[in-house]
Amino acid sequence: MDNRAEVKAFLSSRRARLTPEQAGLAGWSRNRRVPGLRRGEVADLAGVSVEYYAHLERGDLAGVSDSVLDALARALQLDEAEHQHLADLARTAGPAPRTRRKPPAPQVRPSVARVLELMTDIPAWVGNGRGDVLAANALAEALYAPMFDEPARPANHARFIFLSPQARTFWRDWDRIASDTVAMLRTEAGRDPYDKALTDLVGELSTRSEDFRTRWAAHDVRLHRTGTKQFRHPAVGDLDLQFETMLLTADAGLAMTVFSAPAGTAADDALRLLASWAVTRHTNDRGAEAPPPRHGRGNDA
C-alpha cells in the first residue's frame, strides 16, 4: 500500500472530523466553509509550523520524531488505536523505516491447538490480523457455522461479512460488525503494509462490495480486545456473548479469541444447547463424534 497516500488520507480525515469547538479554540468563526480544523490550527495545537504540518499531511512522515507524533496525536485527539496507527505509518515511511515487526506466524503450533481442543465449554479460535481463522475448537465452529460452511479456507471474517448473504442475518448488529472489521483491517495494514495476502483481500473486497469500499475510505482504525457480539444463530437463536482477544506473545501476529456468557443467563443456556447441537451436527455430517479443532496453514505472511 502507498504509505504517502495512507498518511495523507489519515491525517486529513482526522483533521476534518475535529471541530474548533471540540479542540477548545477560542474566537473561532462559525462561518466556515468546512466544519473541521484548518491546517494552521492543527499546527498551532501541535506546536509546529504551518509549513511543517502541511509537509506531514502531504504524506511524508519519514524521520518524524516520536515527540512530534505524540504532539499530533494530542492535537487531533487520536484514541489509542489511531495513535498507534500513526506510529505504524511513520515506522514504515521513507527509504529506511523504523524497525519492522517480526513477520506473523504462518500457522498454529500443536501445543496451542491442543489448548483449543481442551477448551470444551467455550468457543475459542486463533486468528491473524487479516481475519483468517487458523484454528478453532468444535464449539467455535458450531457458533460460526455459517462462516465455516463457506468453502474457502482459511475461513475469513471479512470475506464472510461482506460477501456472504448469510452474514446480515447471522449478525444482529451487522453494521457495527462490518465497520469494526474494516477498521481492524486498516489497523493491520498500517502495521504491515507489505502483507500481500492482506492487500489481495482488500482488493477483492473493494472490487466486490460497495459496503466495504465506503468503510475502507473512512480510514478508521480500531483495536480488537474485548466487547460483546450479538448473534442470531440458525440453530439456537439470539445470543449475546462477551469476547476477549489475547495476543499469543510467542507467535507474532496471532491472537486467541474466546467467548463466554454470565452464568445462569439465557446466553449461557444457549451455549450449552449449542454444544449439544455441535456434537449432533458433526455426527450427522461425518458419522463420528466431534473432531478436534481444525488447524493448519493460513496464507503465508
Domains (range + CATH), the chain: 3-91 (1.10.260.40), 110-295 (3.30.450.180)
Of the ranges 162-176, 187-201, 246-260, 271-285, which one carries the lowest mean pLDDT score? 271-285
Q: Does the CA dihedral 186-192-193-195 come out positive or negative? A: negative
pLDDT at 99 over 60: no
Q: In sequence order, what are the beta bridge partners of 254?
A: 128
pLDDT category at 90 given cuts 50, 70, 90 is very high
Q: What is the average per-residue pLDDT within 178-197?
A: 93
CA–CA gap between residue 96 and residue 79 (Å, rounded): 27
| pLDDT surpassing 70 at residue 159 | yes
| Residue pointed to by grid coordinates 477548545 | 24
pLDDT given at position 95: 59
Please provide residue 223's backbone torsions phi and psi, each rounded to the nearest 5 degrees: -95, 140
Query: What are the pLDDT digits (tens) for 60-79?
Result: 999 899 999 999 999 999 99
Q: Is the pLDDT of residue 101 over 80?
A: no
For residue 291, pLDDT over 50 is answered with no
How many helices (H) and strands (E) are present in the chain, helices listed first? 15, 6
Task: Please give the pLDDT value at position 106.
Answer: 75
pLDDT tens track for 213-253: 999 999 999 998 999 999 999 999 999 999 999 999 999 89
Tell me how crowded residue 215 is: count the other CB atoms within 10 A of its CB: 22
**C-alpha to C-alpha distances, 19 to 10, 23, 79, 263, nearest whole angstrom:** 16, 6, 16, 44
pLDDT higher than 60, residue 293: no
pLDDT at 102 over 70: no
> What share of the chain has pLDDT > 70, as a percent?
88
> Taking the model in full, what pTM does it have?
0.86
Higher pLDDT pick, 296 / 176: 176
Cα 79 to Cα 183: distance, rounded to the nearest angstrom = 13
Top mean pLDDT of 27-36, 95-104, 208-217 is at: 208-217
The confidence score (pLDDT) of residue 124 equals: 97
Closest CA to 1 of 88, 119, 110, 120: 88
pLDDT in tens, 109-122: 999 999 999 999 99
d(CA 97, CA 88): 10
- Alpha-carbon dihedral of residues 226, 231, 236, 238, nearest 10 degrees? 100
